[in-house]
Chain A
Amino acid sequence: MRHIYANRAAYLLAALLVVATALFAWLRSEGGTLVALDDDAPEVTEFDEVNGWAWRETGEQVFVADCQGCHVRLTHTPELFTAEGGRSYLIELVLFGFDGEMVIDGSARQVDHPAFAGHDDEQLAAVLNHVLVSWNNADELPEDPDLYLPDYIDEARDRELGPEEVAERRPSL
């Protein structure tokens, strides 16, 4: 009864594949989770309020809900933020998305980043700030960084760029 054995073999194989994948995920995430645990602990920083606006909690919520699926940590953001034109570019990136090439650590990648124009101004400003201060990014910010405020997002909405245009506006690092 080869067929009976074959049925069992198929289930066994399926189970084996799932277990192997879980092992892969564990190996690939263990470091990540440990790092993330340290880093996720909210660092109490001097930046917690911008002009009296407390953004921390919103920023973290939005990041967990909408960014974490793809980004575990973003460590290039302060560099972009301080580059020429980078400050508005980051707003445009989250508002209008990005479709084009990005050079990261010297290698070019084709990137397709979703647009989050549907979020409100507070959420977007807060999440950008969250990225700017998390994972020790805050150390790389200038003395008085002028973090994002909801108004800045509001202003940028009028630009109505396409994701390809955003790609062209990315400062080169």
Chain B
Amino acid sequence: MNRTVAGGFWLIIYLIVILSPLFFMMIGDTPPERPFWVEFSVGLGFVGLVQTAVQFALIARYKTITAPYGIDLILKYHRQIATIAIGLLLAHPVILVIHNPGLLGLLNPVGGTMASRAGNWALYTFILLALLSYFRKRINLDYELWRVTHAGLALIAVVLAHVHIRLSAYYTETPWKHGVLIGISVVMLASLVYLRLIKPALLKRRPYRVAEIKAERGDTWSFTVTARDHEGMRFRPGQFAWLKLGESPFTVEEHPFSFSSSALEPKRLEFGIKELGDFTGGIGQVPIGTTAYLDGPHGAFSPDLEPAAGYAFYAGGVGITPFMSMLRTLADRGDKRPIVLFYGDKSWDATAFTDALAELEKRLDLTIVYVLEEPPEDWDGESGFIDAGVLERHLPEEGIERLHLVCGPEPMLDAVGKALEQREVPIRLIRFERFGLV
């Protein structure tokens, strides 16, 4: 299926699922009508709940669902839409109480009725979950701990919300309607089982072995794994995989990294990994022969998905890795299309893969423009950041339409985005990849 069509298709399915409870509540046996604001509030509650339940499916990395958008976008969307859903859930009691201040007592988390208590606790759990996600970095919550807590709280909140609905017993008095509502949640929660149990069990059959770890400049390591008795992973250059180390694929510790090797070698996969924290900090010391598992390929950041007459790549720091894969793949294929690579980093000594890039320059129609923040004294190239001036000097004036691919830290993405805007590059020709998913 064409990506746009597929994207639209899933969006429609999404809407149908989310709005279906409202539809079902209106047909067949219906309880007596109530005032508009009461029904509106209750409707928001249903929509909000199903929307939160759907999040489980959204983040389960089903490739058919994520492929049209790219998983980074799905995760961004998850954040936005889950926030909206919690807003709707919050509006449910607030509207009821504004409509009828006599119900204020029902907001008491230890008073009110059993139904109201379950509802209150569901809502508090959702709000806690959202706050922990927004402030995770600020309160220094460990990423793995956050992940486990996040899934656990979400599960508890959805169950409490169902208890609330069961006890409030209005629309759900009709058994099949209640069944539909529970069914939607159960199907969605099953995604968690899929992601955390079924998928790892499948990965178990496709182990990899750490084959080589090579130090590059700039605290970066080339980390190579080879497929153990299977045909490896077919990926598109620019895509990434979640890497798990150790015998068990059921570990919660997994980190996403872009492939940096050629897509023509699916059995020998290389990643360029920069030391940054706990996991990446120890990556250079991982013993050769360690078992590894890969959940992938994921991502929609690839020239293969969008053929163009030529490309302009913009890399900031370790954001070079997906481009290494693209360039190596294109070189292996004998691709003749023109490519400009803008590569920004702190200093020449911190810039990884310069030797490999020099080799690639010989095999491709490739121009590399290094932009150094702190250039050495004898530097005659560009310095500072990749900005409109740099593009002005190096982006060829030409009759072809290039696709512009940008990957790097957030401020760099913004800066390049702005520079491209000044150069009047149409938005449809620009793609970003963010390493900061969470």
The answer to the question of B103 belonging to the interface, with a C-beta cut-off of 8 Å to chain A, is: yes
Q: How far is the CA of A17 from the CA of B417 in the complex (A)?
A: 32
Judging by beta carbons under 8 Å apart, are A110 and B166 in contact? yes
In the complex, residue of chain A having the shortest beta-carbon distance to the beta carbon of B29: A107
**Contact with A112, one of B44, B73, B114 (Cβ below 8 angstroms):** B114
B69: Cβ under 8 A from any A Cβ? yes
Known: A16-B15, A21-B44. A36 touches B35 (CB 8 A): yes
- CB-based contact A2/B70 at 8 Å: yes
Which B residues are CB-close (under 8 A) to A112? 113-115, 167
What's the tally of chain B residues with a CB closer than 8 Å to chain A?
A: 54
* B242 CB → nearest A CB, Å: 21
Give the contact-size bracket for chain A.
Answer: 35 or more
Report yes or no: A14 in contact with B73, Cβ–Cβ below 8 A. Answer: no
Please encode chain B, from 393 to 429, with 1 for each CB lying within 8 Å of some chain A CB and 0 for all others: 0000000000000000000000001000000000100
CB distance from B337 to the nearest CB of A (A): 23
A110 and B22 in contact, given A6-B76, A7-B80, A72-B34 (Cβ under 8 angstroms): no
A67 CA to B35 CA, complexed, in Å = 12
B169 at interface by CB-CB < 8 Å: yes
B287 is an interface residue with CB less than 8 A from chain A: no
Residue A1 lies at the interface, judged by CB distance under 8 Å to chain B? yes
Expressed in whole angstroms, the minimum distance between the Cβ of A20 and any Cβ of chain B is 5
A35 at the interface (CB under 8 A from B): yes
A119 to chain B, nearest CB (A): 10
Whether A83 is near chain B, meaning CB under 8 Å from some CB there, is: no
The residues of B that contact A17 with a CB separation of less than 8 Å are: 18-19, 47, 51, 84, 88
Q: Are the C-beta atoms of A3 and B432 separated by less than 8 Å?
A: yes
B184 contacts the other chain (Cβ, under 8 Å)? no
| Contact B33 A35, beta carbon cutoff 8 Å | yes
Q: Is the CB of A25 within 8 A of B39?
A: yes
Chain A residues within an 8 Å CB radius of B114: 99, 112
The answer to whether A6 and B100 touch (CB under 8 A), given A72-B32, A110-B167, is no
Interface string of A90-126 (1 = CB under 8 A from B): 0000000101000000010111111000000000000
Contact B33 A21 (CB under 8 A): no
Q: Which one, B19, B51, B77, B100, contacts A65 given CB within 8 A?
A: B100
How does the 8 Å CB contact mask read for A46-74 relative to B, with 1 for contact and 0 for none? 00000000000000000011111110110
Among A29, A65, A107, A111, the residue within 8 A (CB) of B102 is A65
Query: Which of A2, A13, A113: most chain B CB closer than 10 A?
Result: A2
> B430: nearest residue on chain A (CB-CB)?
A1
A6-52: which have CB < 8 Å to B?
Answer: 6-7, 9-10, 13-14, 16-18, 20-22, 24-33, 35-36
Which residues of chain A are near B99, meaning CB under 8 Å? Answer: 69
CA distance A26 to B34 in the complex (A): 10
CB distance from A2 to the nearest CB of B (A): 6
A2 touches B35 (CB 8 A): no
Q: Is B26 an interface residue (CB 8 A)?
A: yes
CB contact list, B85-137 vs A, under 8 A: 87-88, 96, 99-103, 105-106, 112-115
Asked if A33 and B100 make an inter-chain contact with CB atoms under 8 angstroms apart, the answer reads no
Q: Chain B interface secondary structure, helix, strand, loop or mixed? A: helix
Q: Does B435 contact A (CB under 8 A)?
A: no
Cβ–Cβ contact B70 & A21, under 8 A: no
Q: Check: B243 CB closer than 8 A to any chain A CB.
A: no
B33 touches A110 (CB 8 A): no
CB <8 Å contact, A29 and B70: no
Q: Which of A2, A69, A97 contacts B100 (CB 8 A)?
A: A69
Contact between B100 and A32 (Cβ–Cβ < 8 Å)?
Answer: no
- The reply on B173 being an interface residue by CB < 8 A is yes
Q: Is the CB of B80 within 8 A of A10?
A: yes
From B47, B101, B431, contact of A2 by CB (8 A): B431
Question: Could you say which of B19, B22, B35 contacts A32, with CB atoms under 8 Å apart?
Answer: B35
Given known A1-B432, A35-B33, contact A24–B84 (CB-CB < 8 A): no
- Chain A: which residue is nearest B50 at the CB level? A17
Q: Which 8 A-B pairs have the closest CB atoms?
A: A32-B33, A65-B102, A25-B40, A25-B39, A21-B43, A66-B102, A10-B80, A29-B36
Binding site for A on B (CB under 8 A): 11, 15, 18-19, 22, 25-26, 30, 32-40, 42-44, 47, 51, 69-70, 73, 76-77, 80-81, 84, 87-88, 96, 99-103, 105-106, 112-115, 166-167, 169-170, 173, 417, 427, 430-432
* A-B contacts, 11 listed (Cβ < 8 Å): A2-B69, A4-B427, A6-B76, A10-B84, A14-B87, A17-B47, A29-B34, A32-B33, A72-B35, A110-B169, A114-B112
Given contacts A6-B80, A17-B51, A68-B100, 18 further A-B contacts (CB under 8 A): A7-B80, A10-B80, A10-B84, A13-B15, A14-B84, A16-B15, A17-B47, A17-B84, A20-B22, A22-B40, A29-B35, A65-B101, A65-B102, A72-B32, A97-B113, A99-B114, A110-B167, A112-B167
